[in-house]
Structure 1
Amino acid sequence: MSSDTPDQTAPDYKSTLNLPRTEFPMRAGLPKREPEWLARWERIGVYDRLRANAEGRRPFVLHDGPPYANGHLHIGHALNKTIKDMIVRSHQMMGFDARYVPGWDCHGLPIEWKIEEKYRAKGRNKDDVPINDFRRECREFAAGWVDIQREEFKRLGITGAWDRPYLTMDFHAERVIAEEFQKFLMTGTLYQGSKPVMWSPVEKTALAEAEVEYHDHQSHTIWVPFRVRRGGNAPMPDVETSDFDGANQAVLADDLHAARVVIWTTTPWTIPSNKAIAFNPSIEYGLYRVDATQDESWTAVGDLYLVADALAAQVLEQARVTSHSRVRGVSAAELGGLTCAHPFAGIEGADGFWDYDVPVIDGDHVTDEAGTGFVHTAPSHGADDYECFVKRGWVDRMTYNVGEESEFLPHVPFFAGLTVFDRKGKEGKANRTVIEKLVEVGGLIARGRVKHSYPHSWRSKAPVIFRNTPQWFAAIDKAVGDGQDTYGTTIRQRALTSIDELVTWTPRTGRNRLFSMIESRPDWVLSRQRAWGVPLTCFTKKDTQPTDPDFLLRNEEVNARICAAFEEEGADAWYADGAKARFLDGIVDADAYDQVFDILDVWFDSGSTHSFVLRDREDGTPDGIADVYMEGTDQHRGWFHSSMLQACGTMGRAPYRNVVTHGFTLDQKGNKMSKSLGNTIVPEAIIKQYGADILRLWVAQADYTADQRIGPEILKGTADSYRRLRNTLRFMLGSLADYSPDIAVDRDDMPPLEQYILHHVERLDRQVKEGYASFDFQGVFQKVFQFATIDLSALYFDIRKDALYCDGTDSLERRSALTVLDILFHRLTGWLAPILVFTMEEVWLERFPGDDTSIHLQDMAATPESWHDPVLAEHIETHRAVRRVVTGALELERQAKTIGASLEAAPIVYVPAETADKLDAEKFATLCIVSNLTFSTDPIPEGAFTLPDVPGVGVVFQKAEGGKCERCWKVLPDVGTHANPGVCGRCDKVLGSS
């Protein structure tokens, strides 16, 4: 039957039709109604009932990467938590005991910074406040935001143990974090070292790579010539000594005695800490003479400079040299034996501070892509620089010239007290003053400015510096010595083995990213110079050096005392008066030890969560390992990374089996969201306008493995998809008002069309479950949506409306259709419940009302494999192909207003003989929703309608002959010849039996 409604002038016949009956509204009203379902789920205890009902099932645990308890949710939070919720809900409905414990990261600098801001506004100094009073305010601040964010997450429809989340500031959590740190202490992987780390002058603490983001920054650039002093004694490692014999014997060519080695740097403030110059033996170098200059050049005719050949022209042009000559090439052997003077060597007022040798050394990090081919090396202020010195055993040559506020310390001549960056992150006077001094002593040949990507603190947004400072590290290449050597003896080996052998990565590129990061990373900096966090619970012996075997106190009894105190009082116990004596007295001499007051990097906190969530909780996992970690791609250098290092250090392997990664959220034009651009979209606004289900549907429709776009137009499209799906569900609900199990038809007794739909159901059920198992929500929704809107609404429902509305109650077609609709109802609601949590609850309750029922207490229905029937499917696909030609021909007639509805047609369909044998005209007329239809195997006449992708089929339009049935609207010859006036034989029979 057509989609038009029956003629309103025939009310008697309309009342005899089995029209859909439902109160399910077409307008969802989600913003208003969703809170009612949230309250209902809480009232009936859906999450806890699932746990009780799932006893005995295999546990499936997604371990929640803790968001930071600081501020309202942004769209990235909504994306993240919704994907997690889909993973948890889908696995629960596929037969697992899918547990989800939400958590929060509560320690660290952002919270501490907020309390400091409050103090500064009142003119108070944080250092004047008792530390545990300060920590109490941080705890209260974090607790307040946990409560706010919890309600915001719940509003998104996220299921979980919201009444018992994990918090890194809970006393038990703080105890376990300390306990996990003590494992590093006891196995010997913890050490105190002095090396350059990224340091925030604003926050006055070391930062991990995960706490740093890169932004454009305009830096000074300088080209500095270092005067060659002599041939030195600094051969390159791993190179035959004979290559350097001439240089090592200080036999230098005359032209090199007068030469200067040119370096280029974007950090002039590090020049006072220069200790070497690095070159790369694989680069071609030359000795260049200045032949002519501009008047304002800082070079002179006859000057000799050593630079890489590939960069010589641009270096000398920058120095305003108008003509130059390449005197000769300079070999690696010659360069490796050079010793230079520091640019400030011998200057008046420096008291010999810089009168040391500056050796020229090799370094693989040197390139000839920019600069001069020589790299100014300050081992206290650069990672590559430091490694060059470690490789040579020159760590004792490190400098300690810069303090925690990026200020030159008092012992540095000329520059003492000058800062690189001030407390607001603005440039201080250090760079300019160093440049001015270089100009004064003839230590520059050029200067400039460059905009480049530069590290900034992701919290203060201020630039950071590399600064040599004593810190605590976890050695990732030292044998752990804990006996858990299945995947390697060191943290790095265990991590790399875990990445390849134990973890499945979605998308696969996540593996490559984390592998390369861990493969090349330095030791893990564990310490921070702040107050709000878990302290490094260790003691150092007085009058010893970090390299001494007994420098660190390693005592299990002391450790147990600390952990017991933390369990009862939290980490504040470490800062209480008399804490050192409390923990040491009666075990060792407390006066012989110093207490360490640095706090742990918050990434160690969150990296340890597997131990106090997965291992310690009843709703954790039997082996303390999560089935899934799922976060944004930035967490390859954050939580995925720190969790891997921490777990490999304490339990010998990765703490997860699957890592799922999502991209970033952009506006609908592909731009990063920014308050200054006015293109931010917050979850609260979307929920208020559309409802959380539309936001969840946007997540399901997006390829979350890449960056996703969101904006008004995209959300409108999402809402349109939702309406189309809702319309499908509404039709099902209306038709199922007449269904009861006693009228059900077995699959083998159903007409071929119903068997074909069940074949699709079986295939789609497999695809949906495979998609959910592999976290492919976009694939799941696309397949379900296409099935619901095309295979069902546009095909099956359209065809079967006639039988559903007009057939008698005992009709096989009608009973079969209702049986299939019941099957579809259970499949569609189950498949879509993890995505559209509110709407599927509404659909479920519309059909199965009750005080304690919920779609979310159901599993996805089991689907018999016997429904799979590829032979039948191929047969029906032939019908569908021919049908497309028929409907295409009718659409042209409808557009030409020859007909108003397809039931006015009785087309002739030309098909090959082998196809005609598979088709029944009467049944095919029902499929095409026409009143009559004739097949012909004659050649397709000229002018017949055809489609290029359905060869051999043509359609010639003809109008149906007869009268229009006032009940079913078919046009048939027998209308008006029966007892009931104006109806066809089928309708007369139904009316006669009613």
Structure 2
Amino acid sequence: MCADKTEVTPDYKDTLNLPKTDFPMRAGLPKREPAWLERWEQIGVYDRLRAKEGRQPFVLHDGPPYANGHLHIGHALNKTIKDMIVRSHQMMGFDSRYVPGWDCHGLPIEWKIEEQYRKKGKNKDAVPVIEFRQECRKFAEGWIDIQREEFKRLGITGNWPNPYITMDFHAEAVIAEEFMKFLMNGTLYQGSKPVMWSPVEKTALAEAEVEYHDKESFTIWVKFKVAEPADHKLAGAHVVIWTTTPWTMPSNKAVVYGEDIAYGLYEVTGTPDECWVNVGDKYLLADNLAADVFKRARLSEDQYTRVADVPASDLAGIGLTHPFAGAEGGNGEWDDIRDFRAADFVTDTEGTGFVHCAPSHGMEEFELYRDLGMLEQVITYNVMDDGGFRADLPFFGGKYILNRKGGEGDANTAIINKLVEVGGLMARGKIKHSYPHSWRSKAPIIYRNTPQWFAGVDRKLDDGMGEHGDTIRERALRSIDELVKWTPQTGRNRLHSMIENRPDWVLSRQRAWGVPLTCFTKKGALPTDADYLLRNDEVNARITAAFEENGADVWYEEGFKAKVLDGIVAPDDYEQVFDVLDVWFDSGSTHAFVLRDREDGTEDGIADVYMEGTDQHRGWFHSSLLQASATKGRAPYRNVVTHGFTLDEKGMKMSKSLGNTIVPEAVIKQYGADILRLWVAQTDYTADQRIGPEILKGTADSYRRLRNTMRFMLGSLGDFSEDQRVEPSEMPELEQWVLHRLAELDHTVKAGYKAFDFNGVWQAIFNFATVDLSAFYFDIRKDTLYCDGDTLNARAARTVLDILFHRLTTWLAPILVFTMEEVWLERFPGDDSSVHLIDMPDTPRDWINEPLAAKWAKVRQARRVVTAALEVQRTDKVIGASLEAAPVVHVREAEVLAALETVNFADVCITSDVQLTGDPSPAEAYRLPEIEGVSVVFEKAEGEKCQRCWKILPDVGGHSHPGTCARCSSALDS
């Protein structure tokens, strides 16, 4: 009797081992991340990691951000890279410590308090200095609390309850102590030389405090008459100089020429209607530049002629007169003859071939006359600290180079007008050029000769630490070349060049908020005298102790000088210095009070890593290197890692005026901190990075793809237990191939983390997760995981998934700190559970199987041809799914055919059947041009569709469970 054809096939859906997990597809990171932050704080993750014993310390020393505003995207990039370094090394088995810090002294904070005073009509100079400093301290404290929470929201791990702060009493004591080492080792001296000076802020600046912007400047061509000797053949002719700083003309003391430049004497033969030259005037000019100069003076080529060669030897011994010489009302200020000599910095590529010298306002001129022993004759003090001319300077007293906001003052115009009046001007114009500005006030700076305190970088140090050189410069250069590894290597070249060519370090600032230069000078002595500076160990110890107890404010207390000098020297014989230290000295000294003094520092006071932006080659990397070279004898770091700047999607610098800024808070609010962290990992941070809405969308898409990979693993491991574990040697080839890839990837990931290559780590993991796993291994093994019973293949697959889980979560935890915690807790919940307490597992090297990998590379190539051929049939609607196919695969190479015959190639291709043949490929067979020797002839699968696994097989319906294949029927019986 025939079976009833109307019998209903059972619904086998509930018999499948489908993934089960509560892990959501939608992350909801903005709302969920704060709870994980709170949880980490409650269970004390950072402290528990510090309690792990027997680990080699690894310390990233934090370059302190400045405590004066909300975080910008550069902060987020910087701190996230640091966090990835710290977390990855911890999970690779180190005791990876991170002490966050803040820079608190300096002009930006002082400037903010002054602004508050101005709004209230309050005069800063009328406020007691200690009261003013306490206002600055309070301001910094407020911003530290704000920034701390903003950094924590990014998922940054560290010793947040106990950071280092440069205005803490101990820090101030150590900074002073480190300064006094300069005092005692002979590198400290007081000198008067041109320094970069901010008239708006009334203080000297270091190179690291200067940035360059375009500026429009006056440019003038000025006549200096040859006056001595009176019988010289050039007497009465004019030497012409060119300058973009007319305000320096009142301070001119000389003109210099180049010994190798070809000069000529030119005579004016005609003039236009309006000009500042006369027929018969004779001018000395470099031949290469003469035509341009006369063009600037509005003369055509037929209005001047070259009348004589003037070799440089003819210029020796000439004296010049300043254009203001003899001017009525000048009171003799400029009547002295101006020096005229050769100098090696003169060129004939721009200007006139002659350079006017105001040694008080130019370093090359200063050094020239210093080396000649003539500084006393050429140094002037015409410009005051606010950029105004001294009140008694004829014609220009009280004129300002810049106005209060940094714009053009009235000095340049007044000087140009006076030059016109006295007949000293040949031409004038304007030029747009790159010009130094204060990075804080954004106002232009000037070079100004002032008494300042310097650290001599070439002075010999007699301190017993000469292993790497006898001077600061020698030690710094040798550290760069021999003791430090640079990421990227270009960082080495940049800093080496800076150190090699830098002048002495200007340590002093004429401000109030900072650590004072704790030294005393002898009244009546000269800076060159041996006893000018008081050098006394007991005095130094008293200062340090006072700072340790009450902070640097005590320096300003009445009677402090007498207190520390009493019984050692007569206090009335000494002056107390009230300048404050360059804030870069503060941050450059942090190695001493963080790495050296703290329990979570290092034994030798040297950090494993300093990591900052590329601007810190002239900033923190630079000052730390100089400071430590003087006080430790070497660099305070072993690795220096540098990141670039953050730009918008078009590669433009971000600015509020352009409206292209990306604020970390806004990104976190929309996407979550993990997306921002992932953006960091996806970039090559060693170059400039771009960020914007479209880039963040792409980052979020990559995140979703990875999240789906993790979700699949979680769902498939829900009922996994240790008794299901299969040894690698017993696993099918496909699982052994996954282990091989894992072993390869383990090496790549850990080497990448050690090299701080997070982009390389992310790309390797992401490609593995999406290409090797989701698109290949998971795709193939879904059938086994869903449909098999308790088979070796199913147990081996789950074992591999478990192995994958532990590695992917720990490998990715330094990058996606919140998401990997969520993934971990989904599988291993518990009050004390956290992926961040786990190390990256050791991966056996014997999982590497190169012959197996080579074989499966061939299998995957053949699979690509099959899946591409089936996609054509799906697109043409011949089939709806690959299980409807049973393709014939023609394989030309016997080795490849043998490889395919030893695997279940139908399962690999996710077809119901496959026929492999070495027969010649028919013309109509499908081929991929890039994969030779494999072609596919499409055939439909024969048989019925299994109602449980959906394969189309001939045996479906012939087993104890209706509508099933043999495999599914057996699974239902087990």
Q: Same fold (TM over 0.5)?
A: yes
Q: How does 1:373-412 map to 2 (within 5 A)?
A: 373-396=353-376, 397-412=378-393
Cα deviation digits, residues 280-331 of structure 1 (max 9, x gap):
3333322222222211111122222122222111111001111222223322
Structure 2 SS opposite 1:586? coil
Which residue identity lines up with residue 497 of structure 1 in the other structure? R
- SS of equivalent to 2:31: helix
Contact in 2 for aligned 1:922/1:933 (Cα 8 Å): no
Aligned ranges for residues 347-746 of structure 1 at < 5 Å? 347-396=327-376, 397-746=378-727
1:130-145 equivalences under 5 Å are 130-145=128-143
TM-score where L is the length of structure 1 = 0.96
| Secondary structure at 1:547 match in 2 | coil
| CA deviation profile, 1:689-709 (whole Å, cap 9, x unmatched) | 000000000000011011111
Shift in Å at residue 391 of structure 1? 2.2
Question: Which residue in 1 is equivalent to 2:98?
Answer: 100
Check the 8 A contact 2:9/2:963 in 1, yes or no: no
**Structure 2 letter corresponding to 1:380:** S
Aligned match of 1:68: 66
The corresponding residue for 1:294 is 272
Please give the alpha-carbon distance, in whole angstroms, between the structure 1 residues aligned to 2:875 and 2:306.
82
Deviations 1:176-210, CA, capped at 9 Å, x for gaps: 00000000001111011001111111111111111
Deviation at 1:776, TM superposition (A): 0.5
Corresponding residue for residue 4 of structure 1: none
Q: Which residue of 2 aligns with 1:238?
A: none
**Residue in 2 that maps onto 1:814:** 794
- Inter-CA distance 269–922: structure 2 relative to 1 (3 Å threshold): closer
Q: Do residues 783 (structure 1) and 790 (structure 2) align?
A: no
Displacement after TM superposition at 1:520 (Å): 0.8
* CA offset digits 1:671-722 (Å, max 9, x no partner): 1111111111100000000000000000000110111111000000000000
- For 2:3, the equivalent position in structure 1 comes to none
| Partner Cα separation in structure 2 for residue 514 and residue 336 of structure 1 | 40
Select the residue among 339, 342, 365 that pairs with 2:319: 339
State whether residues 921 and 935 of structure 1, in contact with CA within 8 Å, keep that contact through their aligned partners in structure 2: no
Residue 593 of structure 2 aligns with an amino acid whose one-letter code is F
Match for 1:77 among 55, 75, 78? Answer: 75
Give the distance between the partners of 2:655 and 2:895, measured in 1 at CA: 64
Between the aligned partners of 1:547 and 1:334, the Cα distance in structure 2 is 38
CA distance in 2, matches of 1:10, 1:78: 59
Amino acid at match of 1:558: V
Structure 1 residue matching 2:361: 3-state secondary structure? coil
- 8 Å Cα contact 1:221/1:266 also seen in 2: yes
Aligned to 1:868: 848
Match of 1:29? 28
Alignment pair present for 1:851 and 2:850: no
Deviations 1:784-808 (A, max 9, x none): 0000001000000000000000011
Q: 1: CA distance between counterparts of 2:345 and 2:221?
A: 19
Q: Does 2:198 align with 1:200?
A: yes
Deviation at 1:948, TM superposition (A): 1.5
Deviations 1:120-170 (A, max 9, x none): 111111111111111111101100000000000000000000000000000
Q: Is the 8 A contact 2:70 2:147 kept in 1?
A: yes
Following TM superposition, by how much is the alpha carbon of 1:98 offset from its aligned partner in structure 2, in angstroms? 0.5
Distance 2:403 2:548 in 1: 40
1:259: how far off? Answer: 2.1
CA contact (8 A) 1:62 1:84 kept: yes
- Residue 767 of structure 1 corresponds to 748
8 Å CA contact 2:522, 2:531 repeated in 1:
yes
* Partner Cα distance (1:850, 1:11) in 2: 40
Q: Is the counterpart of residue 957 in structure 1 residue 938 in structure 2?
A: yes
- Alignment match of 1:905 (pick from 872, 885, 896): 885
Q: Deviations over 1:514-565 (max 9, x none)?
A: 1111111110000001101000000000011111110000011100000000
CA contact (8 A) 1:278 1:375 kept: yes
Contact 1:607 1:639 in 2 (8 A): yes
1:20 is aligned with what amino acid? P
Q: Counterpart in 1 of 2:179? A: 181
Structure 1 residue 23: deviation in Å? 0.3
Which amino acid counterpart does residue 209 of structure 1 have in structure 2? E
Equivalent in the alignment of 1:930: 911
**Please, what TM-score do these two structures have when normalized by structure 2?**
0.98
Question: 1:708–1:686: structure 2 CA closer, same or farther, 3 Å change rule?
Answer: same
**How far is 1:738 from its partner?**
2.4
**Counterparts of 1:56 and 1:921 in 2: how far apart (Å)?**
48
TM-superposed CA distance for 1:922, in Å, is 6.5
Unaligned residue ranges in structure 1 (runs of 5+): 1-8, 232-249
Report the alpha carbon displacement of residue 757 of structure 1 after superposing the two structures with TM: 0.7
Q: Report the alpha carbon displacement of residue 921 of structure 1 after superposing the two structures with TM.
A: 7.2
Q: What is the match of residue 39 of structure 1?
A: 38
Aligned position for 1:245: none
Identity of aligned residues (%): 70
| 8 Å CA contact retained: 2:64, 2:100 | yes
Q: 1:855 Cα deviation (Å)? A: 0.4
- Of residues 850, 854, 858 in structure 2, which corresponds to 1:878? 858
Q: Quote how far apart the aligned CAs of 1:369 are.
A: 2.5
The aligned residue for residue 223 of structure 1 is: 221
- Secondary structure of 2:957's counterpart equals coil
Cα deviations across residues 8-48 of structure 1 (Å, max 9, x unaligned)?
x9773111110000000010000000000000000000000
Kept in 2: contact 1:299–1:321 (CA 8 A): no
Aligned-residue offset at 1:339: 2.3
Name stretches of at least 5 consecutive residues in structure 2 with no aligned partner.
1-7
In 2, the alpha carbon distance for the partners of 1:325 and 1:970 equals 99
Deviation at 1:257, TM superposition (A): 2.0
CA contact (8 A) 1:473 1:527 kept: yes
In the alignment, the residues of structure 2 paired with residue 204 and residue 356 of structure 1 have an alpha-carbon distance, to the nearest angstrom, of: 31
Check whether the contact 1:965–1:984 (CA below 8 A) recurs between aligned residues. Answer: yes
- Which has the larger displacement, 153-162 or 360-369? 360-369
**8 Å Cα contact 1:921-1:934 kept in structure 2:** no
- Equivalent pairs counted in the alignment come to 963
- Residue type of the alignment partner of 1:727: N
- Equivalents in 2 of 1:612, 1:669: separation in Å? 42
Q: Does structure 2 conserve the Cα–Cα contact (< 8 Å) formed by 1:194 and 1:471?
A: yes
Asked if 1:20 corresponds to 2:1, the answer is no
Q: 1:699 to 1:957 in 2, by over 3 A?
A: same
Aligned residue among 112, 115, 118 for 1:117: 115
Contact residue 227 and residue 320 of structure 2 kept, 8 A: yes
Shift of 1:733: 0.3
Runs ≥4 residues deviating over 4 A: none
Q: Distance in 2 between matches of 1:878 and 1:768?
A: 25
Question: Could you tell me how far 1:361 is from its partner in structure 2?
Answer: 2.8
Contact kept, 8 Å, 1:922 with 1:932, in 2: the verdict is no
CA displacement at 1:723 relative to structure 2: 0.2
**2:247, 2:510 → 1: CA distance?**
23
Letter of the 2:349 partner, please give it.
E
**Contact 2:9–2:962 under 8 Å retained in 1:** no
Secondary structure of 1:225's counterpart equals strand
Q: Report the secondary structure of 2:932's partner residue.
A: coil
Q: Distance in 1 between matches of 2:675 and 2:44?
A: 25
CA RMSD of aligned residues (A): 1.2
Residue 235 of structure 1 corresponds to: none
SS at match of 2:469: coil
CA 922–865 in structure 1, closer or farther in 2 if over 3 Å, else same: closer
Distance 2:485 2:84 in 1: 18
Q: Which residue of 1 aligns with 2:307?
A: 327
